Structure 1
Amino acid sequence: MSNETYRPFDPWRPSPVKEICRKQIVESHYFNVDHVTYESNQIGSFERYFIHENNGETVGVIALTDDGRVPLVEQYRLANHRWTLEIPAGHADSPAERPMQVAARKLAEEAGFEARRLVQFTRFLNTPGYSTQHTSLFLAKGLTPAERTDIGPESPRSNVRLVDVEDAYQMVINGTVVDAKSVIAILRLHSGSLDHIDD
């Protein structure tokens, strides 16, 4: 297999299909669902369903205490009927709330910390096959205690575990941490690629 590249990758080149019709079929607080009909030269007409995230993108925060520990939040996830360990994360409450503001709010609400420094270090597409959802990840340093608030009915007062970076990495490797944004953030932190971000 050759590694030769025949043309530069262009994510914005013209679409191979034409959108014919779009209808919103579900509207909720966090997302809407559209039913879309397309036309393709190869197969003709076909349909898809897409999720559109409301109020901007999802935000996740990997925080690092002065003694090198990461707060992981126990969350009960209704869709999967299981508990997870995740970095603090969430969505904007309104279109006006910016990602860094969401990051600061969720760090306080879920993990009980304020950060002297919050820096965005990556942004990724969650499930590009059927969703417009993006997640921005932030590193938080210079932590001080803050008052936590209730998260919601599914996890009314979840526990926060403070885990050192190596243990968090091992939790990813052994499948204890399975949440995608948390996996990405922990692997980036463990790799040392965030070391250049100072307090």
Structure 2
Amino acid sequence: MTQQIYRRFDPWRTAPVQEIDRKEVLASHYFSVDQVTYASAQNKQFTRTMLNESTGDTIAVLAMTDEGTIALIEQYRLPTHRWTLELPAGHPRDSSERPLEVAQRKLREEAGYEARSFTQFERFINTPSFSNQHTALFYAQDLTQVERGKLGPETPHHDVRLVSIDEAYDMVIAGTILDAKTVIAILRTKAGFGDLERS
């Protein structure tokens, strides 16, 4: 019987390509787009288009009420031409707004809650094949209802749905909830946080 040896994964080992040129082709408030030229180990050149975050991580908040429900926001998304159910989430207004401040602002504006406790429990790369965008997930507890703000023109009157984690999990499995950050947060919560939920 042969034994297979697996080498330990090292995400920071030497890159197999070298960046030789970068040009910004589009700049917006939250993102910029670059055309980047690389040289491979065989000295062959190729170009890729990269999406870069301009102000920092996307932030999403899984807010747990005293009744054990979480807030999901109904939003209309232009690129996919469909309504989605998502956690309260958004980007920093500028590079000076900290992740916790974004979490507090988006929970208040989109879901109509303030929380006494915020804990970051996850951070992931959204689409590593063409973007450096990260999303950080926060868990919020001890909620108080406040007046909500307004979303953008695509969803001027957004609705908030309060559902249990079990209901949210069922919606993920059924394909009702498709937004990646919301799926990841619900699955992580369903699996349990350990001491996080009791902090």
TM-score range, shorter chain: over 0.9
Q: Using the alignment, how far apart are the partners of 2:154 and 2:3 within structure 1?
A: 48
Structure 2 residue runs of 5 or longer lacking an equivalent are none
For 2:169, the equivalent position in structure 1 comes to: 169
Confirm or deny that 1:16 pairs with 2:21.
Answer: no
Q: Using the alignment, how far apart are the partners of 1:110 and 1:5 within structure 2?
A: 50
For 1:95, the equivalent position in structure 2 comes to: 95
Paired residue secondary structure (1:116): strand
- Tell me, yes or no, if the aligned pair for 1:188 and 1:194 is still in contact at 8 Å: no
Give 1:59-74 correspondences, 5 Å limit: 59-74=59-74
- Tell me, yes or no, if the aligned pair for 1:75 and 1:158 is still in contact at 8 Å: yes
Change (3 A) 1:114 1:61: same
Residue by residue over 1:78-127, the C-alpha shift from the partner in whole angstroms, topping out at 9 and shown as x without a partner, is 01100000000000001110101100100000000001100000100000
Aligned residues: 198
Q: Using the alignment, how far apart are the partners of 1:194 and 1:62 within structure 2?
A: 16
Q: Using the alignment, how far apart are the partners of 2:3 and 2:96 within structure 1?
A: 45
Change (3 A) 1:28 1:3: farther
Amino acid at match of 2:105: R
Give, in angstroms, the shift of residue 192 of structure 1. Answer: 1.6
Amino acid at match of 1:108: R
For 1:77, the equivalent position in structure 2 comes to: 77
Paired residue secondary structure (2:198): coil
Moved more, 88-97 or 186-195: 186-195
Q: Using the alignment, how far apart are the partners of 1:68 and 1:104 within structure 2?
A: 20
Give, in angstroms, the shift of residue 10 of structure 1. Answer: 1.3
Q: Using the alignment, how far apart are the partners of 1:3 and 1:130 within structure 2?
A: 36
Q: Provide TM-score, normalisation by structure 2.
A: 0.95
Structure 1 residue runs of 5 or longer lacking an equivalent are none
Amino acid at match of 2:177: V
Q: Using the alignment, how far apart are the partners of 2:77 and 2:3 within structure 1?
A: 41
Residue by residue over 1:109-151, the C-alpha shift from the partner in whole angstroms, topping out at 9 and shown as x without a partner, is 0000001100000100000000010000000010000111001
Amino acid at match of 1:106: K
Confirm or deny that 1:118 pairs with 2:118.
Answer: yes
For 2:52, the equivalent position in structure 1 comes to: 52
Amino acid at match of 1:110: E
For 2:40, the equivalent position in structure 1 comes to: 40
Q: Using the alignment, how far apart are the partners of 1:87 and 1:187 within structure 2?
A: 13
Confirm or deny that 1:137 pairs with 2:134.
Answer: no
Give, in angstroms, the shift of residue 8 of structure 1. Answer: 2.0
Give, in angstroms, the shift of residue 7 of structure 1. Answer: 2.5
How many percent of aligned residue pairs carry the same amino acid?
Answer: 55
Q: Using the alignment, how far apart are the partners of 1:79 and 1:60 within structure 2?
A: 20
